Amino acid sequence: MDNTPTLSKSTNLQEVRFASTWSYIAQTPLYKKKLDAEGIDVGSINCLADLQKVPFSYKSELRSTPIFERSPLRVEQIYAIYSSGGTSGKATLYVWNEEDVDVQKDVSRRVFRQLGVNASDIALILAPVSLPVMGHCMIRQYEAAGASFIPLGPADPATVSTFIQQLPVTLVATLPVVASRLNEFMRYSQNISFDGKIHIRQFHFGGDYLSTARRNRLQTSWNAKCYDMYGISELFGPVSGECALQNGLHFADDYIYMEILDPETKQPVPDGERGVAVYTTLWKKGFPLLRYWSDDYITRDSHPCACGLPSPRIFYHGRTLDYVRSFGKIYFVKDIEEVVLKFPVSDEYFIEYKEDKNGYAELQVEPIPGYEISQTELADAIGELLHLHVKVQINRPGSLPREVIKPKRLINFPNPIDFKE
């Protein structure tokens, strides 16, 4: 089988942009040292295919390298310094220039134009607007689309509920779990009827996976469309977003060269197969990326979308920390959630691996008020997925913790699971 990745119609543009940025990337101190250490002549890299000679860059390197060794910019060329969110470890600082802002706005404009976002919209931003970059990206995405915005930040549910009821908010940017918890709070703690009081027509989700099961619940409960976005702090958000068809996230491959590689062989996987996304930037970015190993598992579909956009679509599965390896197969939290949320349980759940003679998993859930859960059916469904014995613990509604914005759903799972006879 030919494992050469399929590129979109922008392949020629990618090559042109890479040729115009390669010398800029190569003069970044971090990458210059890596190339020198590998004995790679900068002049021997003439096209994107030549990048296979170049070693990967990893998050650990970025964290351990001083900020100005990761950028070729002079101080007077800096637009801003932001950081990563720090959810997977120590926050890392990144340099931005004005071209970064222009690129992010261009990509955002394309994404949100497809969703009909315009000047009549008011967007409520439920993300911190401080040192981490993503809150700033959310502001710029709505500026680019012509919408107004409210940078409320990660406020408590009562405050968010007040804003939603008192102002004609039509868009909300947040995490999927935040939308779930807010809906639960307004319906069951405040007993609010959504008819006529809520103007939200779209949720724009990013920062975490969005399962189809959770999306279906949220679209029904909020009577609003829920669109998935994808971005990372090392690039910006969104670098990819859904169109109205909700069938994959259109990726900005005219600005970013994406390799999808097998995590073990480090070789390209064909379209439709899952692999780790590796990024190289194609503009003179304040902090360039050169074969950056993202740890994000992605599937690419290069077939034309019915919406007419020519860019390839991606499907995000999760990160290295978000999966279980069982009988040689990888199962992400997203896969588990697709099964759990088909049952009448709340949107909160946790599954923990327990050691005994053979090992088993204990799934903690809560019933939706007024519904009953079949423990046997739920245990069998998760057990069939993971090939593991599962016990289900049903808890009082509202008793599972809800404080963590990005809760760890998989607890104490070895990778791979050590199955015993």
Going residue by residue through the chain, which has 421 residues, state the pLDDT in tens, using 9 for 90 and above.
334 333 344 579 999 999 999 999 999 999 999 999 999 999 999 999 999 999 999 999 999 999 999 999 999 999 999 999 876 668 899 999 999 999 999 999 999 999 999 999 999 999 999 999 999 999 999 999 999 999 999 999 999 999 999 999 999 999 999 999 999 999 999 999 887 789 999 999 999 999 999 999 999 999 999 999 999 999 999 999 999 999 999 999 999 999 999 999 999 999 999 999 999 999 999 999 999 999 999 999 999 999 999 999 999 999 988 899 988 889 999 999 999 999 999 999 999 999 887 889 999 999 998 899 999 999 999 999 999 999 999 999 999 999 999 999 999 998 887 655 3
Q: Alpha carbon 35 to chain centroid distance? A: 30
For residues 384 and 389, give the distance between their C-alpha atoms in angstroms, rounded to a whole number: 9
Report the pLDDT value the prediction gives residue 1, as an integer from 0 to 100.
36
Contact (Cβ atoms closer than 8 angstroms) between residue 304 and residue 326: no
HEC secondary structure over 195-257: CCCCCCCEEEECCCCCCHHHHHHHHHHHCCEEEEEECCCCCCCCCEEECCCCCCEEECCCCEE
Own/partner pairs, 24-28, CB within 8 angstroms, 24+ separation: 24/72, 24/284, 24/288, 25/72, 25/280, 25/281, 25/288, 25/290, 27/72, 28/69, 28/70, 28/71, 28/72, 28/288, 28/290
Q: What is the pLDDT of residue 87?
A: 66
Q: What does the CA dihedral 404, 408, 411, 413 come to, rounded to 10 degrees? A: -170
If you search the block for the tokens 């590129």, which residue do you land on?
Answer: 7
Pick from 105, 184, 89: nearest CA to 139: 105
Residue type, 65: T
Q: Supply angle C-alpha 210, 163, 111, rounded to 5.
A: 40
SS3 of 17, please?
A: helix
Task: Name all domains of the chain by residue range, CATH numbers in brackets.
Answer: 103-230 (3.40.50.12780), 327-411 (3.30.300.30)
Q: How many residues does the chain have?
A: 421
Q: Do residues 336 and 351 make contact, with C-beta atoms less than 8 angstroms apart?
A: yes
Q: Which residues pair with 332 in a beta bridge?
A: 323
Dist. CA 131–CA 48, nearest whole Å:
33
Q: Using an 8 Å Cβ cutoff, are 107 and 238 in contact? A: yes
How far apart are alpha carbons 147 and 139 in whole angstroms?
A: 10
**What sign has the CA pseudo-torsion 304, 307, 308, 309?**
negative
Query: Cα-Cα-Cα-Cα dihedral of 136, 139, 145, 149, to 10°?
Result: 180
Neighbours of 27 (CB within 10 A): 12
Cα–Cα distance, 209 to 377 (Å, whole number): 25
CA distance 184 to 298: 31
CA 206, CA 221: separation in Å to the nearest integer?
Answer: 19
Q: Environment class of residue 81 by beta-carbon count within 10 Å: exposed (0-12), middle (13-18) or buried (19+)?
A: middle
Q: What is the Cα–Cα distance from 334 to 213, expressed in whole angstroms?
A: 9
The residue written with tokens 């390896």 in the block is: 325
Instruction: Please give the full DSSP string across 30-98, using - where no structure is assigned.
Output: HHHHHHHHTT--GGG--SGGGGGGSPPB-HHHHHHS-GGGS----GGG--EEEE---TTSS--EEEE-H
The DSSP letter of residue 320 is G
CB 372 within 8 A of CB 366: no
